[in-house]
Chains A and B, each alone.
Chain A
Amino acid sequence: MIISIASGKGGTGKTTVATNLAMAIGSDVQLLDCDVEEPNAHLFINPVFKKTETVFAPVPEIDEKKCTYCGKCDDICQFKAIVVFGETILSFEELCHSCGGCMEVCPEKAITEKGRELGIIQKGERNSIEFIHGKLRVGEAMSPPLIKKVRSFTRPDKLTIIDAPPGTSCPVITSMKDTDFILLVTEPTPFGLHDLKLAVGAVKILGIPCGLVINRSDLGDNKVKEYAEEENLPVLMEIPFDRKIAEAYSRGDMIVKVMPELKDEFLKLYQAIKDIAE
């Protein structure tokens, strides 16, 4: 089973829920941190990394000796990543989406592919949790190909927990699609509710069952619960605000360690997810 943990709004507690859920379950579980722009789960899990690999996106390499400046590559490229004018050809590899169209269309076979560094993938473990995350190279704009690479390590024989990035656009969709359950972590504030509605919209497009965790559930107002009721979204867990939790989080401590009584709550959450997804 694959559970993706998302939110719409940032800072609602996705990583807290993902890491503590993985820690509470403890065995036969893998945690994939797909928030490759700002990966944080490793700060809490403290995995021992055993393998690091650099991930590249294919971009065109032009052999100017073969190029006749016919301009077909310029015509086919939708992203203005390759431009021909007169007897000059330029490629802007940071704009390239790696579709391979220029290489395919070139009548002179003057284009091959080289790599643009997207970032790195690291694999490690902590106790019996298998941990994988991606780190986008600072300055690189495109995160979805790196997220796909992190997800390629999904093992069907294990429970996979995905920590998704905030928002509702392509990086989030890449982290949520083809999963069995989406757990949306929200907070009962106007910003939390507004962005939750966007996230629920994305979940509906994907057609995946979902449920809510309301974090800092006693701050703000009651409108998230009212919305959940109207939309028939099950509220699977509520975590009240506790300065002890906030301070533990600030240090990188797991809340199941600081407040062991919460371990059972996370196991109940997992059971509730299984009941809905299966």
Chain B
Amino acid sequence: MKELIVISGKGGTGKTSLMAAFASLAENKVLCDADVDAADLHLIMNPAVRKQSDFQSGYTADIDREKCTECGLCLDLCRWSAINDEYEVNPIECEGCGVCVYFCPEKAIDFPLNTCGEWYISDTRFGPMVHARLGIAEENSGKLVSLVRQEAKKLGEDKGLDLILTDGPPGVGCPVIASIGGASAVLIVTEPTISGKHDMERVVQLSAYFKVPAMICVNKFDLNVELTREIENYGKEKDLICVGRIPFDPVFTKAMVQAQTVFEYNTDSETIRDIRNIWGKVARELEI
């Protein structure tokens, strides 16, 4: 089974819209939304949830004021300034390191496990989907990403599928690192803006760092054709496959408003043909 992760570096380049379009074209696949911090794929896939589970990870200190003698040791040890002079823990600041819990001479600090999100196995009109929702202001997004990827893999193996098609998060930090490690390939969706190019270069470096083969696709290419060429030349220099260009087309927004993929919204246009060609190249690279 192959696993393709769609990433971008910069946000808003069209990852999720393109990923939804691929869902219309790919066969025998499981869909996976690894952008757990701001998951959007479900808005188009309209999943019927079959199984819902809590995501528990990390701990938060909680001082029992009855037992606390206000000795001040926890205040001295805490590197996050998460405990105030009233001996209350600010859960947003608490890193869950447990140093205060370990050293408290009165054993006055509880350390409960956090429930910081939910994850789901669902059915969609394009096949099964694994997705999640990280609680607002919660930590451990990387661990939740690893979890949804594992579950998507299990589900794909159980059902004898050929492909895991994963929508990844923006950036190059913790959740992206958790998204791409060990994948068959990443598809980097970029745009011909100086910020799109800058961020694409960083995510190309990241893919190389984790030894994941990368492909590049330029969305909204006609906003700046010269920069599109520069991006494609950069890709060639780095021996990456450039799978194609997509024009700036309001069809993506219109389809999104209708909760449809572009293929459901519009059956024939230049954009549609471009995306079909791109998917053909990606599938060939993946040997599926």
Contacts and interface: CB of A to CB of B under 8 A. Distances in A.
Interface of A: 8-12, 15, 37-38, 40, 43, 75-76, 78-79, 97-101, 104-105, 136, 138-143, 165-171, 173, 177, 189-191, 194-195, 198, 201-202, 205-206, 219-221, 243, 246-247, 249-252
A99 B40 contact: no
B158 to A, nearest CB: 29
B288 interface: no
Given A167-B38, A189-B253, A194 B43 contact: yes
A177 B256 contact: no
Contacts of A168: 37-38, 134, 136-137
Contacts of A79: 97
Contacts of A171: 173
Contact of B16 (A165, A166, A191): A191
A11 B173 contact: no
A75 B9 CA distance: 37
Contacts of A99: 79, 95, 97-99
Contacts of A140: 173
How big is the B interface, by class?
35 or more
B172 A136 contact: yes
Majority secondary structure, A binding face: loop
Interface of B: 9-13, 16, 37-38, 40, 43, 58-59, 77, 79, 92, 95-99, 102-103, 134, 136-139, 141-142, 169-177, 191-196, 198-199, 202, 205-206, 209-210, 220, 223-224, 227, 248, 250, 253, 256-257, 259
Q: Considering the complex of A and B, which 5 residue pairs feature the smallest CB-CB distances, nearest first?
A: A10-B11, A11-B12, A99-B97, A37-B171, A40-B195
Contact of B198 (A43, A139, A190, A246): A43
A7 to B, nearest CB: 8
A12 B138 CA distance: 22
B136 A205 contact: yes
Contacts of B253: 189, 219-220
Given A101-B98, A140-B173, A194-B43, A173 B16 contact: no
Contact of A169 (B37, B96, B196, B202): B37
Nearest to A223: B257
A205 B141 CA distance: 18
A105 B97 CA distance: 13
B223 A169 contact: no
Nearest to B206: A138
